[in-house]
Amino acid sequence: MKKIVIKGAREHNLKDITVELPRDKFIVITGVSGSGKSTLAFDTIYAEGQRRYVESLSAYARQFLGQMDKPDVDFIDGLSPAISIEQKTTSKNPRSTVGTVTEIYDYLRLLFARIGVPHCPEHNIRIESQSPEGIADSIIAKTCKNDQSRQVTVLAPVVRQKKGTYGQLFSDLNAEGFMRVRVNGEILRTDEEIELDRYKKHDIQIVMDRLSPAQDRSRLVEAIENALKKAEGLVIVLDADGKEWLYSAKMACPVCGMAFEELQPRMFSFNSPFGACETCNGLGIRMEFDPDLIIPDMDLCIADGAVALYRNAIDGWRGQYLAAVAKHFGFDIFTPMKALTKDQYNALMYGSDERIKFSMSMKNGDAYWSHNGQWEGLIPQSVRLYGQTNSEYRREELEKFMRVLPCPACNGKRLKEKVLAVKIAERSIVDVTDLSASDCIAFFEKLEASLGEKDREIARQVLSEIRSRLGFLDHVAWAT
């Protein structure tokens, strides 16, 4: 195999291209924008290489990675299973990790979906769905260690921190045969008048049963089952000392009720709406216009081109706009930026509500007009233009005046909070991909040894895929 032969490539805009490429050579593909360079390199050659790579994996691994479509090409010969190292402009791509550069990330997604443990991001409580039997066993273990005769009260929390008087609820419960409720911590009878402040938040729990767990496990299980039905999957168990435990039968945080879906590999992908941080759409960054890039040199005046954003257009109407703004705020186009007062600078940069008279004349003086209006400010104007333009070139020009900040919602981690709170051995998927190759191998070796039998079986194949690829990376002295 000395060359890669591609015949009849028609993906996207490629027009039935036939080409031969030398193997094991560094190849540069050039051409005007839109000629199909990346379609050939990524969507055809790489897509086919990756498809072959996925086909080389075990059936077990394949079922989670999804079907890969064959690119629209008649024939490709001489191609090995491929992985791609995507080059992005460094200003836009925060960083690549071992996990994202190689296909290891696909296996990590799989592993986290299979054995990851969700936690409430707010309360750091392990989220699990529990059966009534499981809850009963946990109660017996917690309450009956020393004293087999201790009693507990099983409660169904039907109102949690909500306002209202709940008169109808109490009479309905009484009609259903529930004689006691616990209202804001106090046990009350439903056949007596219960007065609640309409404008305060209340906790109302139905008393399902009072019993001794160790002596009557089946009655405990029944009480828990009934409570779960009444309280949409929640049950509270209260012991004689007033200590209480809240359980959820659903995948939900027992404290705040935040619901969790069943884990799926796609939730761990920042390219998927199921996983991507909703604030930054999975990019991990926020770009914002930087005043110090828009006016980089405070020694300059507007006439010298102090506003770098407008440097090419200083003679045009934009320059005249700035002159009008300067005049209105008491300076002129020959005032060095460093001489502006704070208010003048802020007005120039962020705009003002004041009505300003803008006078415009054409360069040759044969047209003149004026109008009154507001000055929106260099930064709001840039934000608006950036949002409006459809031109990639214009957007890139404007991006020169932006600085890149980590996304405030995900701290640059690109995934939803809930996804980042799924842990394996106390680590999120991002914690794992941030490890160096050798630490990562150590982590997985330790992990496999620590897993229970069921999880280990699930994870074994995934782990071996991860290890062989990490081992390969380690072997070629991967540098990150």
Which residues contact Zn ion (rule: CB under 5 A)?
120, 122-123, 253, 255-256, 277, 279-280, 407, 409-410
Q: Quick one: CA dihedral 379, 381, 386, 387, positive or negative?
A: positive
Strand partners, 285: 406
Shortest Å distance, C-beta 280 to Zn ion: 3
Q: Within its chain, how far is the Cα of 327 from the centroid?
A: 47
For 9, the token pair is 């490539």
Helices and strands (H and E) in the chain: how many: 17, 13
Place of tokens 């009849």: 8
How many angstroms separate the first and last alpha carbons of the chain? Answer: 31
Q: Which is nearer to Zn ion, 1 or 405 (CB)?
A: 405
Q: Please, which residue, 94 or 336, has the CB nearer to Zn ion? A: 94
Residue 111, phi then psi, degrees to nearest 5: -65, -45
**Cβ distance to Zn ion smaller for residue 99 or 213:** 99
Considering beta carbons, is residue 190 or 269 the nearer one to Zn ion? 269
d(CA 126, CA 136): 18
Q: Which is nearer to Zn ion, 29 or 256 (CB)?
A: 256
Residue closer to Zn ion, measured from CB, 416 or 467: 416
- CB 292, min distance to Zn ion, A: 24
CB of 274 to Zn ion, least distance (A): 15
- Say if residues 73 and 79 touch (Cβ distance below 8 Å): no
Whether residue 277 contacts residue 284, with contact meaning beta carbons closer than 8 Å, is answered with yes
Residue closer to Zn ion by CB (options 114, 123) is: 123
Specify the pairing of strand 285-289 against strand 244-248: unpaired
* Residue placing its CB nearer to Zn ion in the complex, 221 or 421: 421
Closest of 231, 239, 188 to residue 210, by C-alpha: 239
Encoded tokens for 236: 């509270």
- Beta carbons of 458 and 114 less than 8 angstroms apart: yes
CB of 245 to Zn ion, least distance (A): 15
Cα 363 from Cα 317, distance rounded (Å): 9
The answer to whether 277 touches 269, Cβ cutoff 8 Å, is no
Q: Nearer Cβ to Zn ion, position 260 or 443?
A: 260
Using CA atoms, how far residue 16 sits from 12, 23, 32, 153, 294, in Å, is: 10, 22, 18, 75, 46
For the CB of residue 261, give the shortest distance to Zn ion in the complex, in Å. Answer: 15
Q: Which is nearer to Zn ion, 83 or 256 (CB)?
A: 256
Instruction: Give the CB-side neighbour count of residue 365, counting CA atoms within 13 A.
Output: 0
CA distance 444 to 372: 68
Shortest Cβ distance from residue 433 to Zn ion (Å)? 16
Smallest separation (angstroms) from Zn ion to the CB of 405: 11
Minimum CB–partner distance for residue 279 and Zn ion (Å): 4
Tell the smallest beta-carbon distance from residue 33 to Zn ion (Å). 30
Give me the count of residues in the chain: 480
Whichever of 105 and 310 has its CB closer to Zn ion, that residue is 105
Minimum Å gap between C-beta 282 and Zn ion is 7
CB of 394 closer than 8 Å to CB of 402: no
CA atoms within a 13 Å half-sphere pointing along the CA-CB vector of 384: 8
Torsion angles phi and psi, residue 473, rounded to 5: -60, -45
Q: Give the span between the Cα atoms of 89 and 285, in whole angstroms.
A: 14
Closest separation between CB of residue 250 and Zn ion, Å?
A: 13
